[in-house]
Amino acid sequence: MQEFTYSDTTLMAESVPLRAVAEEFGTPLYVYSKRSVLDHCRNIERAFEGHPHMSFYAVKANANRALLRLIGEEGFGADVGSVGELHVALAAGIHAAKITFSGVGKREDEMTAALRAGIHAFNVESTEEIEVLDAIAGHEKKKARILLRVNLDIDAGGHAYVSTSLKQNKFGIPARQSAEVLRWAKGLAHIDVRGIHSHIGSQITKAETFLRAAEALVSLLRELAVAGIHLTDLDFGGGFGVQYRGYIAHPQIPVEEPEELNLSAATLIRTVAPLLRETNCRLSIQPGRSVIAHAGVLLVKVLYRKQTEDKLFVVVDGGMNDLIRPSLYKAYHQIVPLELFAREQESADIVGPLCESGDFFAIDRRIPRVERGEFLALMCAGAYGYVLSSNYNARPRPAEVLVDGSTRTLIRRRETIEQINEA
């Protein structure tokens, strides 16, 4: 599982020293471990213990085609949130019959493209959306399979921006209204109502939160059945949290206490699966982060050390445009040197080169002293890293490299200034 480790004092990705990769491809650079991707997929699949289910990988977490291909080859389908993601998933060889389409604002052209491709199902979120889908499906002479996303009004904890199942959030239909909406939708000519869907948030590490959601869904399905609405599909969504703090250990790097109980995605799935199985529905999940977060790191180079009266700043060549999670969600990524030299530890703000104070990776972080020209790795950056990168400050997006044993393959070229300057 742990494919990024120190061999003596050198940080490796599988059998490759990361410093060699940084020097060969330049920084900032995303590097992924193939072994890690495969292991995470397999652990999630094993958590179902042979029970029939479908895992739709949430493409929004990382849409690199080479990585999607690996995940698809492990038997995963894909959950897409846009026609762009649909396109990438299909191009990565994932069969349309294994693709679902989620999101609160699907455009008509996106629904048309997904219907024509023949996707498995639409996870729908409003009555207007269902009406539009019904009309498009009629025009296309097709039937659209739907799962109704329900809002369970559950506080999933974590950052407010990624909580999705509170009643004040824009997502889903209140569970109380679901019977009425489902009954109405069943009457539509071009809609095939299959089931319900829920996704309560992201980076959830408490088993009890998932258990509450599972219990709410099980009782909702029971109530619906009593009301004469019999459903066959239940999609439990994603959100399974991963360890960020203290992911990697070495006597020369500061000890970080993991923030939560540290339950793996597989353990979280194992706690809810028996309950969900009782419904006898076709079960599915949509894991994103738990598949890909641990499989990637972001490498950056130290540009300058800068000591002011109050602070030591370590200025690196990657910034919030390359990895926005610390700036946007105050997210924590462990930061470690690619080479350890038995130097003293110091406390520093690790900051990028962009033009605002929000451009930081860590504040008052203890790290072993690093010098200009040396490299750092931001750990667990495989999910919501590259996909959230931007051209802020007219900075080209980073390159992406996949390591497999001792081989490394460029899986996305670094963007060029010419590309971002095109009309």
Interacting residue with ligand LLP among 40, 199, 294, 408 (CB under 6 A): 199
Interacting residue with ligand LLP among 184, 329, 332, 392 (CB under 6 A): 329
Tell me the C-alpha distance between 136 and 340, whole Å.
59
Angle between the N-to-C axes of helices 108-117 and 83-91, in degrees from 0 to 180, rounded to the nearest 10: 20
Does 240 help bind ligand LLP (rule: CB under 6 A)?
A: yes
Q: With respect to ligand LLP, which residue has the nearer C-beta, 82 or 203?
A: 203
Tell me the C-alpha distance between 213 and 268, whole Å.
12
Does 264 help bind ligand LLP (rule: CB under 6 A)?
A: no
Q: With respect to ligand LLP, which residue has the nearer C-beta, 72 or 288?
A: 288
Interacting residue with ligand LLP among 27, 82, 178, 202 (CB under 6 A): 202
The region of 2-10, 256-264, 282-290, 335-343 touching ligand LLP under the rule CB under 6 A is 282-290
Contact letters for ligand LLP, residues 377-396 (x by CB under 6 A): ------xx------------
Tell me the C-alpha distance between 77 and 346, whole Å.
45
CA distances from 380 to 2, 355, 367 (A): 11, 25, 17
The region of 173-181, 207-215, 236-244, 303-311 touching ligand LLP under the rule CB under 6 A is 236-244
Identity of the residue numbered 189: A
Asked about 281 being catalytic, the answer comes back as no
Does 326 help bind ligand LLP (rule: CB under 6 A)?
A: no
List the Cα angle 394/399/400 in 5-degree steps. Answer: 145
Does 172 help bind ligand LLP (rule: CB under 6 A)?
A: no
The region of 18-26, 31-39, 197-205, 271-279 touching ligand LLP under the rule CB under 6 A is 197-205
Does 239 help bind ligand LLP (rule: CB under 6 A)?
A: yes
Question: Which spans of this chain sit near ligand LLP (rule: CB under 6 A)?
Answer: 58, 60-61, 79, 102, 162, 199, 202-203, 237-240, 286-290, 325, 329, 383-384
Catalytic (active-site) positions: 355
